[in-house]
Structure 1
Amino acid sequence: MKVLGACPLDCPDACSWVVDVQDGRAAGLRGNKEHPVTRGALCVKVNRYLEQVHSPERLTRPLRRVGRKGEGRFEPISWDEALDEIAERLTGIIAEYGGEAVWPFHGTGSLGYIQGLEGLSGRRFFNTLGASRHDPTICSVAGTVGLEYTLGTAGGMDPENLAASKLILLWGTNPMTSGHHVWKFIQDSGAYTVAIDPVRTKTAERCDEHLAPLPGTDAALALGLMHVIVGLGAQDEEFLAAHTEGWPEFRSRIAEYPPERAAAITGVPVERIVALGERIARTRPTAIRASQGMQRHAGGGMALRTLACLPGVTGDWAIRGGGLHYSTSGHFRLDTPALTRFDLLPQPVRTLSMTRMGEALLDPDGPPVHALFVIGANPVGSNPDQRRVIEGLSRADLFTVVLEHFPTDTVDYADIVLPATMQPEHLDVLAAYGNLYLVWNEPAVAPPGDCLPTTETFRRLARRMGLTEPALYESDEELANQLLKQYDVDRLRAEGFLKIAPGPVPAGKLRFVSNLAERDGHAPLAGYTPPADPGDGLVLISAASHYFLNTGFGSNPELRRRAGELRVTIHPDDAAARGIADGDPVTVGNDRGSFDAIAEVSDTVRPGVAATPKGRWAKHSGGATVNATIAERDSDYGGGAVFHDNRVRITPRLQE
């Protein structure tokens, strides 16, 4: 039997897949050949997804902690015992401290709207309790807000239209590792491709040209390129007059960034900036593909805001195959308020930032968090300031419940662990953020052991606590119908995927000057905001691994073998200055923390920059990962994370 499903992982592609079921077991998994983006292919990680489903390390029974927090020692218990203990603890905490003492911490382990982050699965239950809100700031919020200031929407061009582009700028994105299906449309175009990235990635190696700016200087580079374009008189005056606001002011801003200034800020040679600016000036359509990594710094929101201005100056927003693609999420008309039901809150409550977990758990002045539910997340492995996160999770008075598939670093700090179903075992709906397809996931097999869908877990917990709100007990099918009221649910379920019609971009006029930004307390005019790490040393980039997805697959033995030892790549000039040779053991650190790695000396990184992949588990990496060095600071817009605004010292490590 073949069952249509969808990959739930934090990737732009949201692949449609087919599960081959034999004798009630998921025996095979392949990409859906009928899906116009998936085209039958899955990535190197998801090709091993069924190894995860059938792994002997998988959690299949509820667990209660019997050791100290962090030791990872548990005993199996029944669901009745688990629900009784959780209900009793929650009742006591709410009676003493109020509902806001409860924090439902959702992560990107699943982007499902029914079971995962996008629909904040279980949120109805938490709203009925009056729990704190959770703000998922870890991924893309700064860039999303920046695009909304410029374009009126975060939805950009249809990535399938990259096939019509003549020039493609792959700006801070590495699709050969993350979201590789867009590469097919790039190849179909025959366009001249330029990678703009501090690291010569797998993608950059396949491009016609590679520019390596210093991290966090992308907006200055964009302004320098626009200076060249305007200097040649290549701006589209007709588009500017009809479809933009604030052009005279922005033209003055462009004049402040001649190529010489842009080169001094970015470290890109003047002649390279001029040459690319001239190429953009004479090439229509030009498209930009940008992704989340480039906005994870102090000026990340402004970077996307300014980058979206470039196709406005050239008029590419009006041409098929032109414009900018960051995320397509803004195009989907999904009724998420019907899922989350924040109207069930008995009174307004505080919002807690996902990327400030350590601060929230350790703040002596704010209202305390006494109950933490971790859902589809591994904050010990994924959050900034790893040391403070661990310190917060170690609090004796913090009651922590983790819904999980595997014994992650975060599970080790749980009081109760609840086994969750994986994608072939439950119903879900996905909306890609790298294309315009809704995808349906039909349950294909029964879950192993005592695993439950997240929705069912909270239905049972609501019943155990005696909650009477009818919305807490609606089925997964009812939830899906409420979410998808604008679309043909029967067709989506039967065919497995459905392409939606995008909204207009820009939505209204493109705003070089944004009154909304000014009302939010930001500069009204698009421009450049520099990175802000006050430390010294090299700027450390911790981008996606080719073998892990965030910390997902961190338990997979074969992918861990392929990933090899944790390495940090440094330029030969920087290595020589520090007395480091290729293959040397090193310590990478700053005032926040440190981790150990093996030096890889290579010119794939530019001078002044180091690079190491994210996604390792601390328990597999000597107790610390790259996130031990990253600050709990906010980016400029939306409280986003600053993973790439991080300076470190790299020193030789003495062998014992």
Structure 2
Amino acid sequence: SPTNEGGLCARAYAELERLYAPDRVLRPLRRVGPRGSGRWEPISWAAAIDRTAAALDGRTVLHLSMDRFLAGDLQDRIGWDRVLLDRRQPGRPGPESDADLYGAPVADPDLRRAETVYLIGAPILDGRFQVPLVRGLVEARARGARAVLFADAVGATGSVCEWVPVPPGAAAWVALGMARILWDEGEVDAEFLRERTPEFPDALAAALRPYDAGAVAERTGIGPERLRRMALTFAGRRPSVAVAVPGTPEAAAAALLNHLVGNVNRPGGIQTARGPYFTAPVRVESTPAAWWEAFLGGAEALDLYLAAEANPAYDGPRPEAVARALADPERVRLVVALDTHLTETARLADLVLPLATAYESWDLVEGALPDGRPYLALQQPATRPDSEPDKLKDPASEHLSLFEPWPRPLGEARGIPDVLLALARRRPGPELPATVRGVLDGLLRKSWGPGSLQALARRGVWVAEEPKAPNPLAPARLAERPALPDPPAEGFHARVEAPAVLPRTYAGTRRGREIAPQAEAWLPAGAGVPDGAEVLVRSGAGEARFPARVVQGLHPRAAVLPDGYGHVGPADETAWWREAGPGASARRVVPADGQPHPVEIEPAEG
């Protein structure tokens, strides 16, 4: 995409390994033994789609790793009761889009033009953020911008930022303490606040009352004078922007800072989504964690659960409980997994459908550049061409050159948009094109943009000549968030560092190991554990053993657990499990929500 400026992200490199993995699922499979028995037989795509479509009249859930082309456009046609997204794309709506904080879904902030960047518990270089954000931070620092990380661990982000260590769970207190100082001293953009929320001042004053400098110092260890200097720097060295993980208490605190200095939809600040959307965003009502907790708590049984590159039996909120629910035909009558490998969730499925990788699929990526200009990027298959002239049998291919080689997925793999389109064509409604390429071409001819699939295919990327105005902003409900709880005063608190750039199936790839190279628990020097020793990490949810790595850049009460390890593999020890299986799953101890959770850490015995 143009936001990567011609570079490849980590996923693009790791995808090559997944593309040619020797143990990929390359044809549809039907379970012939009990769920989880590992006994399968081949089935045709037509039969698999027919069986899946027959369950659509019941209670259904589509679980996606991320928003996909056609998922939103076909959501009503297919009739999903609920759609779950593991990862929200910047600028798209959803429960974690922070739309309530800014009045519209939030896109990537314009870090390149910022003079001051405060990262509120947001380790941008440590895997939870997108390439454009990382690039923007690095370029801002190279230009001389000041960047400060307020977090319990220095990580890779601290190598390019000033690190202000804070106790686990205390970063939001620092941000709200700075906001209180700016409000009390009048260092705010009063005109911007009046325009955005006329009734804002009274509510804001009440919301900030608990966060005086003394209270913040008691909870964070940052003295009042230092806190004031940092607050005035943020207000005086503009454009300034505060960044946090969406959907967290830190995000609400960062939003207050950004509003106080008036840096929303201005150069160097927070940017909200530009409109209109070319494709319909998928409608999401809750996070996967919240939905699974409700389902495990006794919600109504499902007729169909379709996991499209999602693996909740490994990375769900309570993986063992999720696995038990998926294994129970009374709770979920039909489980379908669309994936490249036999993941934990796929092994519990009734049908396993072979997923095409990004190098084999047609897809459409849309977004906006920092200056507001929208773009469309066409993802085209790049695998080996097939010898059969399928284009002659496909009516949607008339716009393409007759003799152009046509790449095809390996085996019988199909992309997520292909499967959604096949299901939608079996539902009542107007006739739909037979292929994703046909849908793409129809959309491009009817809407703004390059005009046709052929035109976009020649360019690869289309960028509008003029920026779009931001979507209208609703009032920001900044003062409606509940007051922050006190940060924990004692004991260890661990969080899982979960790289969002790669699905869990990449954990064993060479590129995946470069991103998360250690299957070790990072512990502070004062933990009393020798470097390299094995430790037992225990919480109310469960326990796991990890090799310990003692590091200097950690708060004395903080611990960081690795993600992507500890898979439960099949008995035959296929190649992928030999790579991704070793180690322990941190998600059996604490959820991978980026937040600290209380744990006990002790040397392991035996």
Instruction: Provide TM-score, normalisation by structure 1.
Output: 0.74
Q: Which amino acid aligns with 2:460?
A: G
**How far did residue 448 of structure 1 move?**
0.8
Superposition pairs for residues 498-537 of structure 1, below 5 Å? 498-499=462-463, 501-504=467-470, 507=473, 512-513=478-479, 523=480, 528-530=483-485, 537=491
The answer to whether structure 1 residue 409 and structure 2 residue 365 are counterparts is no
Q: Which amino acid aligns with 1:375?
A: A
Map of 1:452 onto structure 2: 414
**Alignment partner of 2:135 out of 181, 185, 197:** 181
CA displacement, residues 543-602 of structure 1 (integer Å, 9 cap, x when unaligned): 2349x72414124256448845521112222x22xxx22111122222222222111122
Map of 1:133 onto structure 2: 82
Deviates more, 1:641-650 or 1:396-405: 641-650
**Alignment partner of 1:59 out of 25, 28, 46:** 25
**How far did residue 418 of structure 1 move?**
0.8
The answer to whether structure 1 residue 305 and structure 2 residue 305 are counterparts is no
The answer to whether structure 1 residue 422 and structure 2 residue 357 are counterparts is yes
**How far did residue 170 of structure 1 move?**
2.6
**How far did residue 187 of structure 1 move?**
3.7
CA displacement, residues 234-270 of structure 1 (integer Å, 9 cap, x when unaligned): 2234444454431243234434322221122344444
C-alpha contact 1:121 1:454 (8 A) present in aligned 2: no
Deviates more, 1:396-405 or 1:559-568: 559-568
C-alpha contact 2:104 2:474 (8 A) present in aligned 1: no
Deviates more, 1:138-147 or 1:236-245: 138-147
* SS state at 2:497 partner: coil
CA displacement, residues 349-380 of structure 1 (integer Å, 9 cap, x when unaligned): x977522465455444x321143211121112
The answer to whether structure 1 residue 381 and structure 2 residue 314 are counterparts is yes
Superposition pairs for residues 160-309 of structure 1, below 5 Å? 162-178=111-127, 179=131, 180-207=134-161, 209-245=162-198, 246-292=200-246, 295=247, 300=248, 302-309=249-256
Superposition pairs for residues 16-55 of structure 1, below 5 Å? 16=1, 35=2, 37-55=3-21
* SS state at 1:542 partner: strand
Map of 1:442 onto structure 2: 380
**How far did residue 457 of structure 1 move?**
3.1
Map of 1:355 onto structure 2: 289
**How far did residue 138 of structure 1 move?**
6.1
Map of 2:530 onto structure 1: 581
* SS state at 1:257 partner: coil
* SS state at 2:504 partner: coil
**How far did residue 54 of structure 1 move?**
1.8
C-alpha contact 2:377 2:462 (8 A) present in aligned 1: yes
Map of 1:113 onto structure 2: 69
**Alignment partner of 2:547 out of 598, 602, 615:** 598
**How far did residue 539 of structure 1 move?**
2.0
CA distance in 2 between counterparts of 1:83 and 1:250 reads: 53
CA distance in 2 between counterparts of 1:149 and 1:455 reads: 30
C-alpha contact 2:178 2:231 (8 A) present in aligned 1: yes
Q: Given the superposition, is the C-alpha separation of residues 489 and 588 from structure 1 closer, same or farther in structure 2, using an over 3 Å criterion? A: farther
Q: Given the superposition, is the C-alpha separation of residues 421 and 166 from structure 1 closer, same or farther in structure 2, using an over 3 Å criterion? A: same
* SS state at 2:124 partner: coil
* SS state at 2:149 partner: strand
Map of 2:460 onto structure 1: 496
Q: Given the superposition, is the C-alpha separation of residues 433 and 412 from structure 1 closer, same or farther in structure 2, using an over 3 Å criterion? A: farther
Q: Given the superposition, is the C-alpha separation of residues 271 and 143 from structure 1 closer, same or farther in structure 2, using an over 3 Å criterion? A: farther
C-alpha contact 2:86 2:310 (8 A) present in aligned 1: no
CA distance in 1 between counterparts of 2:101 and 2:290 reads: 27
Deviates more, 1:596-605 or 1:236-245: 236-245
CA distance in 2 between counterparts of 1:353 and 1:527 reads: 19
Q: Which amino acid aligns with 1:450?
A: E
CA distance in 1 between counterparts of 2:294 and 2:503 reads: 22
CA distance in 1 between counterparts of 2:44 and 2:99 reads: 48
* SS state at 2:562 partner: coil
CA displacement, residues 487-527 of structure 1 (integer Å, 9 cap, x when unaligned): 334464443234463544882665655xxxxxxxxx3xx56
**How far did residue 536 of structure 1 move?**
8.8
Map of 1:314 onto structure 2: 261
C-alpha contact 1:361 1:369 (8 A) present in aligned 2: no
C-alpha contact 2:546 2:584 (8 A) present in aligned 1: no
**How far did residue 193 of structure 1 move?**
1.2
CA displacement, residues 33-92 of structure 1 (integer Å, 9 cap, x when unaligned): xx3x323322344323222212212211112234543354433343355446x25xx64x
Aligned residues: 552
Map of 2:386 onto structure 1: none
CA distance in 1 between counterparts of 2:251 and 2:470 reads: 18
CA displacement, residues 440-480 of structure 1 (integer Å, 9 cap, x when unaligned): 212332111111233333454566xx655335555324533
CA distance in 2 between counterparts of 1:248 and 1:647 reads: 36
C-alpha contact 1:143 1:304 (8 A) present in aligned 2: no
* SS state at 1:220 partner: helix
Higher relative contact order (CA 8 A, sep 6+): 1
CA distance in 1 between counterparts of 2:104 and 2:534 reads: 46
Map of 1:30 onto structure 2: none
Q: Given the superposition, is the C-alpha separation of residues 71 and 502 from structure 1 closer, same or farther in structure 2, using an over 3 Å criterion? A: farther
C-alpha contact 1:385 1:629 (8 A) present in aligned 2: no
Q: Which amino acid aligns with 1:456?
A: D
Map of 2:565 onto structure 1: 616
**How far did residue 540 of structure 1 move?**
1.6
CA distance in 1 between counterparts of 2:522 and 2:188 reads: 40
CA distance in 2 between counterparts of 1:42 and 1:81 reads: 37
Q: Given the superposition, is the C-alpha separation of residues 457 and 147 from structure 1 closer, same or farther in structure 2, using an over 3 Å criterion? A: closer
**How far did residue 336 of structure 1 move?**
4.5
Q: Which amino acid aligns with 1:107?
A: S
C-alpha contact 1:124 1:472 (8 A) present in aligned 2: no
CA distance in 2 between counterparts of 1:406 and 1:356 reads: 26
CA distance in 2 between counterparts of 1:561 and 1:188 reads: 24
Q: Given the superposition, is the C-alpha separation of residues 625 and 278 from structure 1 closer, same or farther in structure 2, using an over 3 Å criterion? A: same
C-alpha contact 2:539 2:600 (8 A) present in aligned 1: yes
* SS state at 2:305 partner: strand
Unaligned runs of 5+ in 2: 383-406, 569-579
**How far did residue 165 of structure 1 move?**
2.0
The answer to whether structure 1 residue 627 and structure 2 residue 587 are counterparts is yes
CA displacement, residues 279-319 of structure 1 (integer Å, 9 cap, x when unaligned): 22321221223334xx4xxxx2x542332221332233475
Over the residues paired in the alignment, what is the CA RMSD in angstroms? 3.7
